[in-house]
Amino acid sequence: MDEIPERLTVKPSWLITQLAVHARRLVFGGFTAAGARGYHYRILAALHEFGPASQAELGRRCRVDRSDVVAAVNQLVEQGFVDRAPDPEHGRRNKVTLTPGGVQQLRRMDQVLDQVQDDLLEPLSAEDRQTLTRLLGRVLAHHESR
């Protein structure tokens, strides 16, 4: 393999970008094998944690563009993982609700992501993984608060 210039390999931004490529590949492969997509996981996780929500709320919580939320919710409805019905409190809004099948799919997807974490972070100890997660969360929170 070609050597990488050291001035790149000592930059956290470069390392994070390179690792993100591997993480996306692993997540995509795992979700594809499970018949799912990343947006599906985000939506199911938000519904499980916060309860029924409008599509706009899901977009904000999951950081997914509104048109992508609509497409993902349509797919999840077709698969029986969520229900979508008019919101009785707001006439022009739909409320999305997690179904029992959606809870099962979320659990399957959790297992996929757990395996992805293990594959991605294989060279790290459990303590190092916790430290890395904590530090990345702190950096992300700093930039999101700006």
So what's the pLDDT on residue 90? 81
So what's the pLDDT on residue 123? 97
43 phi and psi, to 5 degrees? -70, -45
- List of the chain residues with pLDDT < 70: 1
Strands 53-54 and 82-87: unpaired
Enumerate the β-bridge partners of residue 90.
87
Express each pLDDT in 121-138 by its tens digit. 999 999 999 999 999 999
**CB environment 75-88: b (16+ within 10 A), e (fewer):** bbeeeebbebeeee
Enumerate the β-bridge partners of residue 53.
96
So what's the pLDDT on residue 34? 87
